[in-house]
Amino acid sequence: MEDFTPALYATWWAVLPPLIAIALALITKEVYSSLFLGVLTGAILYAGADFDGILNHLLYEEVGESKYGIIAALSDTWNVGILIFLVILGVIVALMNLSGGSKAFGGWALQRVRSRVAAEIATMLLGVVIFVDDYFNCLTVGSVMKPVTDNFKVSRAKLAYIIDSTAAPVCIIAPVSSWAAAVSSFAGEGQGISLFIKCIPYNFYAIFTLAMMLGLILMKFDYATMAKFEMNAVENGDLFTVKDENAALVDAADEGSDAGIVLDLVFPVLVLVISCVVGMIYTGGFFEGASFVNAFSDSDASIGLSMGAIVALVIIIVYFIFRRTISFDQIMSCIPEGMKAMASPILVLTLAWTLKSMTDSLGLADFVSGLVEGMPTKAMGIIPAVLFLIACVLAFASGTSWGTFGILIPLGLAITAKHPELSTPIIAACMAGAVYGDHCSPISDTTIMASAGANCNHVAHVSTQLPYATTVAVVSTVAYLIAGYTTSSIIALIVGLVMIVGALFFFKSRESSYIVADSKNKMQTGN
């Protein structure tokens, strides 16, 4: 089909499909129909009253070099690579569970983790250590730490929050990560990874998110919706509050052999980490002479992760064959079981990707670009904060942080061409706002996978995490105002951290906050 521009292209109507999907998901607590209705709205806005046009755009349509629809989302090479990685990861998790590795690690960890706080800190530290990729982070941390947090009655919503808060926020301040590679690709020739590194001290949202999470854990309280989930977990032993049939099925499958040892979990995880890192630098040309950092900058995360996962799966299967704790038939049975466990996140991801293509066809990116380009250049100090907020809205509405990078980073560089002293805070603001959207949007793939990693109802994860993420976003806005006028990351960081601490004490003092008392913890866990 030749190029076609819909009548509503690059207007505020482009915001309507993701707005409908997000609003319905939060109201109805049901994500599948909400996402589909958002996709359908996008197709109707694009094609108008043409029924055939709506159906084509909904399923598969080529317009110039662009492809739209559900089939297009499932045939995109990047998306397929991520789906392959997800399925293989589900198979590996099933193997670790069936062999008893997860159970053995849980028993080992419980001998060393003696409190609720320690369980949450251990989960956070593991998330920080796995900084290579947010997808890998979400699913690995969840499968490893779930038995430990369950023992101390940490709600699945709180586990999902910790996982999600050490996924994108950690990747965006780690120079050796798939995110560094993405930012480098949008930064322009000759800047790449060096600009990414310069932006790290100005990436206030990521830094404040980690500070906020640590503060909540150490101060032993929660607020807003999360408080209700945590109270229900501790007082009633209900880790979910919002029931999820898929979660129940996956939990039932987690019961494994009593013959497992800690190595049955540690070895697969290490093999997976190493294989994925090697896979990513391989796609970046490391074995053809590129440096390690440059190889990461030029890597293809989708191909690298799927390639690494396939190699890891083969090695892990050979390991369990030699271990003989589970039979070859049982090993093979984990393949469909792993696919079943990932069916829900794959469906949500597919609909989220399709919704993203709907907003692309309606010109959401061009609409936002017009808003940014229309900003006055006289008040340059306010631009980092404004760009941060625009990035927050765009990433939240579209569910893509990398897409937001592609839209706003080049614009940020153009805006600061005559003001190089502001280039770092402005580019960092674009990155940080994109991370906010990726961190808490219901249609973000990272948010979806954090829910899958914690085996938590997706809407429950979004609704409990949103108040925390938004609190950090408000503080980050103030920090970018300060950085814009002072060009100092240190002053902005100090003020922001003081505000985070102040906010935590404020929320803790409110009656709606829920404080987990040490005495109650000891009584319920038997410690």
pLDDT tens-digit map of 276-335: 889 888 988 889 988 887 787 677 777 888 898 899 999 999 999 999 888 899 899 988
Separation of CA 517 from chain center = 31
Task: Please answer whether residues 176 and 131 qualify as being in contact, where contact means their C-beta atoms are separated by less than 8 angstroms.
Answer: yes
Contact by Cβ (8 Å): 119, 151: yes
pLDDT band at 518 (very low <50, low <70, confident <90, very high): very low
- Give the burial class of 231: count Cβ atoms within 10 A of its Cβ; 0-12 exposed, 13-18 middle, 19 or more buried: middle
* CA-only gyration radius of the chain, Å: 23
| pLDDT, mean of residues 364-369 | 74
Give the residue with greater pLDDT, 463 vs 194. Answer: 463
Note the residue count of the chain. 527
Asked whether the predicted pLDDT for residue 101 surpasses 90, the reply is: no
Higher pLDDT, 429 or 299: 429
Mean pLDDT of 28-41: 83
DSSP helix/strand/coil, 63: strand
Per the listing, tokens 């590129």 go with 290
The 10 Å Cβ neighbour count of residue 51 is 10
Q: Could you give the dihedral angle defined by the CA atoms of residues 510, 512, 517 and 523, in that order, rounded to the nearest 10 degrees?
A: 170
Q: Does residue 97 carry a pLDDT above 60? A: yes
Q: Minimal CA–CA distance to 76: which of 308, 353, 406, 442?
A: 353
- Cα–Cα distance, 306 to 114 (Å, whole number): 37
Percent composition of the chain: helix, strand, coil (DSSP 3-state, to 5): 75, 0, 20
* Least confident span in 41-45, 264-268, 342-346, 484-488: 342-346
Range with the poorest average pLDDT among 113-127, 219-233, 389-403:
389-403
Asked whether 357 and 67 are in contact (CB, 8 A), the reply is: yes
Q: Which residues are within 8 A (CB) of 372 and not within 5 positions of it... i.e. 6 or more apart? A: 387, 390, 408, 411, 415
Structure tokens at 130: 């796995």
- With a cut of 80, say whether residue 405 has pLDDT above it: no
